[in-house]
Chain A
């Protein structure tokens, strides 16, 4: 069932991006990711959409207010109307996350999580971002987190890439090294 929902969501997302990809800017993409994160953390926020006898006007109004609140472009309202028409409004969250993933793929964007053992300033983050953009050949969006488990060092991770230089990694390598 989940696989089928994924397939349907993928179709909606592909169709949406085929039509509106030029209307969605990088700022809009950031807003989409914020909403995606918000909905991931609050999975029950849109649970009412799965109710069978809910009036479509109410659904449209509530989702419209969400879109307005997170300042998403107008084209998302059309997506919502299309989902409601096909009685698949409950797929909104899933379609949104697939749209974000497809947008990243089409616009060559990588979302990196930068973990470091020490708090990095903005200039250091810029250097890391430039380093990643040059090495991966993509546009990099990053999020910084403090991770004391690294002991000392930096770990850069996205959906497709991983770069790490830390004391923890060296210790891991040492532990995993076989007897010669």
Chain B
């Protein structure tokens, strides 16, 4: 029902009541009724003004507030979802971290073992190199001594042989042996 029709019906009803009261009611009843009617009219005017001017703004404000509330509820839900997601992620990361820590421990153990192996091998290689150097130096020393001795001995032998072969007969015998060897080798 529109407001115009409502006003029209109210005025009609007011006129009917006025006519009825004018002809059938005493003044006390009339004054009570008109007081009630005036009060009702006042209330109607207030309601009308409220609905006409104040109601849309209030409705808009309420609507805005409701929208805000809905947005906040949605945000709240989203934040709750995010929180659960983050909790899950955190848990996953904690698990991964535990796994990685285990791996790191394993790797560290392996690394320590390998380091120990390297150390052992290095020590062995060092020992071998030292032994080799020692052997080489010993060998060089022996070789040097051997060479000196050989040279000395050869010099003595050379002098001895020179003296021995200074005899012409010895020379002749030696050469003749060679000539005999060559003669035998010639067919």
Contacts and interface: CB of A to CB of B under 8 A. Distances in A.
A117 B175 contact: yes
Nearest to A167: B161
B1 to A, nearest CB: 135
Contacts of A131: 182-183, 185-186
Contacts of B186: 127, 130-131, 134
A135 B187 CA distance: 11
Contacts of A179: 139, 142-143, 146-147
A179 B162 CA distance: 26
Interface residues on B, range: 20 to 34
B75 interface: no
Contacts of B139: 179
A116 interface: yes
B70 interface: no
A135 B154 CA distance: 32
A153 B174 contact: yes
Given A117-B171, A127-B186, A151-B165, A171 B158 contact: yes
B165 A167 contact: yes
Interface residues on A, range: 20 to 34
B151 interface: yes
B179 A124 contact: yes
A71 B33 CA distance: 185
Contact of B178 (A134, A135, A154, A175): A154
B183 A154 contact: no
Interface of B: 139, 142-143, 146-147, 150-151, 154, 157-158, 161-162, 165, 168, 170-172, 174-175, 178-179, 182-183, 185-187
Interface of A: 116-118, 120, 124, 127-128, 130-131, 134-135, 151-154, 165, 167, 171, 174-175, 177-179
